[in-house]
């Protein structure tokens, strides 16, 4: 049976499911199991799984899993390609509608807050495609006054985005400022927004220490699975947007000065840095997802509780 558009929103309850949470919370595995149970297609909401070739460091599901359970929004851009929030919104929306046309329930699952925002509040991203003039002005401002000035400006316009971005992540800070400055609905209007009528769950750890242990273990697994070889095969440039991803950007100094592959001691240092950056990112993800009061919260281990809640809403 084809699942159609409800009240003008193709993803209003019960026509879709949204699953969000921090890195290593198990959301992707949960989404796959849920898809098997309810007849769903997983739509990735991850700003780095969109890139081809970035497989190990972004923890993509295996090819065999993706062959068994339909997935979308994975491997849709080349690693040297620029990718915008607006493009994600359009392509993910089409992927969700296609799943519905095939009689499947779209399950949007991931951890990129700004991507979820574009789906929950699509009007707020109207007209947010890149503006070359504005971007040039922001880049000039960063060079003249320093990246911290732009970050402070972003904190005023979009506190949630500023909280998840490092002040020195100039490229993403500038992109977030573009969205904030070009958006029809300013951040000051956020409290006036109507909460979407959707089925949404978010995983939040009752014991953050255990989440951090999972993150550390995942990084070790990535190295064991061949992360260094994956980066060598990519032949990346630090100018690529994709190389801002945690798990890749930590290698950039070694690529730029000819020290690749890094020595065993350097690799241990890189691994520890990736773990630290990932833990910090998980904190920012948790802060972001708290803004979605309409999403039902579950502990990272309570997959049955989350599944039971979703079943009751379908």
* pTM value > 0.85: no
Q: Please classify residue 288 by burial: count the beta carbons closer than 10 Å to its beta carbon, then call 0-12 exposed, 13-18 middle and 19+ buried.
A: buried
Q: Please classify residue 111 by burial: count the beta carbons closer than 10 Å to its beta carbon, then call 0-12 exposed, 13-18 middle and 19+ buried.
A: buried
- The per-residue pLDDT for range 248-276, each reduced to its tens digit, is 999 999 987 778 899 999 999 999 999 99
Q: State the Cα angle at 242 between 162 and 232, rounded to 5°.
A: 140
Q: Which residues of 74-92 are buried (b: 16+ CB within 10 A; e: fewer)?
A: bbbbebbeebbbbbbbebb
| Residues forming CATH 1.10.20.140 domain(s) in the chain | 129-192
**Contact (Cβ atoms closer than 8 angstroms) between residue 222 and residue 57:** yes
For 186, what's the count of Cα atoms within 13 Å in the CB-facing half-sphere? Answer: 5
Instruction: For strands 199-203 and 296-298, give the pairing.
Output: parallel
Q: Which fold has domain 129-192?
A: Histone, subunit A (1.10.20)
Beta bridge partners of 20: 110, 202
Q: What is the mean pLDDT of residues 123-141?
A: 72
Q: Which fold has domain 11-121+196-314?
A: Rossmann fold (3.40.50)
Range with the poorest average pLDDT among 35-44, 182-191, 210-219, 235-244: 182-191
For residue 172, CA distances in Å to 40, 118, 162, 286 come to 32, 16, 10, 19
Q: 1: which 2 tokens?
A: 């049976």
Sequence-ordered list of residues with C-beta below 8 angstroms from that of 7, at least 6 positions apart, any chain: 197
Sequence-ordered list of residues with C-beta below 8 angstroms from that of 250, at least 6 positions apart, any chain: 270, 273, 274, 277
- The per-residue pLDDT for range 81-92, each reduced to its tens digit, is 988 888 999 999
Q: How confident is the model at residue 7 (pLDDT cuts 50, 70, 90)?
A: very low
Instruction: Give me the phi and psi of 45, to 5 degrees please.
Output: -115, 65
Does residue 243 carry a pLDDT above 90?
yes
Instruction: For strands 105-110 and 40-45, give the pairing.
Output: parallel
Q: How confident is the model at residue 128 (pLDDT cuts 50, 70, 90)?
A: low
Cα 154 to Cα 167: distance, rounded to the nearest angstrom: 10
């Amino acid at each position: 049976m084809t699942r159609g558009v409800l009240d003008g929103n193709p993803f209003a309850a019960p026509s879709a499911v949204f699953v969000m949470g921090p890195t290593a919370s198990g959301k992707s595995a949960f989404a796959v199991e849920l898809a098997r149970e309810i007849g769903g297609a997983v739509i990735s909401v991850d700003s780095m799984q969109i890139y081809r070739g970035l497989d190990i460091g972004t923890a993509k599901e295996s090819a065999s899993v993706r062959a068994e359970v339909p997935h979308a929004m994975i491997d849709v851009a080349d690693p040297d390609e620029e990718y915008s929030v607006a493009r994600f919104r359009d392509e993910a929306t089409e992927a969700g509608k296609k799943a519905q046309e095939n009689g499947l329930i779209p399950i949007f699952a991931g951890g990129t807050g700004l991507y979820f925002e574009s789906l929950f509040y699509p009007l707020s991203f109207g007209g947010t495609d890149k503006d070359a003039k504005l971007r040039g002005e922001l880049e000039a401002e960063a060079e003249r006054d320093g990246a911290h000035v732009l970050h402070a400006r972003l904190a005023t316009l979009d506190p949630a985005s500023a909280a998840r971005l490092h002040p020195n992540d100039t490229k993403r800070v500038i992109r977030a400022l573009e969205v904030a400055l070009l958006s029809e609905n300013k951040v000051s209007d956020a409290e006036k927004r109507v909460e979407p009528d959707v089925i949404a769950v978010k995983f939040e750890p009752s014991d953050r220490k255990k989440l951090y242990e999972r993150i550390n273990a995942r990084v070790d697994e990535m190295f064991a699975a061949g992360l260094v070889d994956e980066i060598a095969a990519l032949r990346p440039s630090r100018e690529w947007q994709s190389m801002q991803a945690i798990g890749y950007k930590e290698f950039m100094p070694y690529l730029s000065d000819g020290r690749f592959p890094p020595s065993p001691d350097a690799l241990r240092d890189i691994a520890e840095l990736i773990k630290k950056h990932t833990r910090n990112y998980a904190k920012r993800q948790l802060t972001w997802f708290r803004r979605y009061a309409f999403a039902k919260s579950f502990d990272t281990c309570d997959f049955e509780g989350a599944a039971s809640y979703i079943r009751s809403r379908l």
